[in-house]
Amino acid sequence: MNSRVAPLAAVLRLNTRLLRNCVDGLTDEQAASRPAPPANSVAFLVAHLTDARHSIVGLLGGSAPNPLTPYLAEARGIDDVRELPPLTELLGAWAAASAALDACLETVDATALDAPSPQRFPGDDRSVLGAVAFLVQHDSYHVGQLAMLRRLHGLPAMRYR
């Protein structure tokens, strides 16, 4: 693994586990509900994060089928999503996207990381590495939202273990 991407990969691996901890014990009904509108639902955030991980895979030159594309096509936010699959299906898509991302991070080289990002993200670094760094921050931000939504559903705080 390229040493510049190793810390980002470690955060993504942590977030992979934390997302699962955030949804542990939630029912499909809880996951689909919005306990504090206009907040997102847990189900939407899991789908959004899965989709974002597919974007990182693409930035790194990989590809993996995204089973959530039919649900998220053309959506700019939760209000544009008509339905989402049950939590078990969302978590399966999350696991597959996370595995594909891990594989890409293991093999990405310096040339690919230094290339200009085809998509602009906030921040000064316009390279693929800069885009990946922003998307890792984005991943962490939404995992934090999931932890808060878990509490709003009356469940104990997310565990780091």
Pick the CATH number of 6-152 from 1.20.120.450, 3.60.21.10, 1.20.200.10, 3.40.50.150: 1.20.120.450
Selection from 72, 56, 67, 70 nearest residue 90 by Cα: 67
> Containing H/E element for 111?
helix 110-114
DSSP 18: H
Window from 14-18, 27-31, 33-37, 151-155 with minimum mean pLDDT: 33-37
- Reported as a single tens digit per residue, the pLDDT across 100-159 is 999 999 999 999 999 999 999 999 999 999 999 999 999 999 999 999 999 999 999 999
pLDDT higher than threshold 90 for residue 74: no
- Position 36 scores a pLDDT of 80
3-class DSSP assignment, residue 116? strand
- What is the pTM (predicted TM-score) of this model? 0.96
Q: How many CB atoms lie within 10 A of CB 28?
A: 16
Task: Report helix angle 87-107 to 42-59, nearest 10.
Answer: 20
- Position 38 scores a pLDDT of 87
Per-residue pLDDT band for 161 (boundaries 50, 70, 90) equals confident
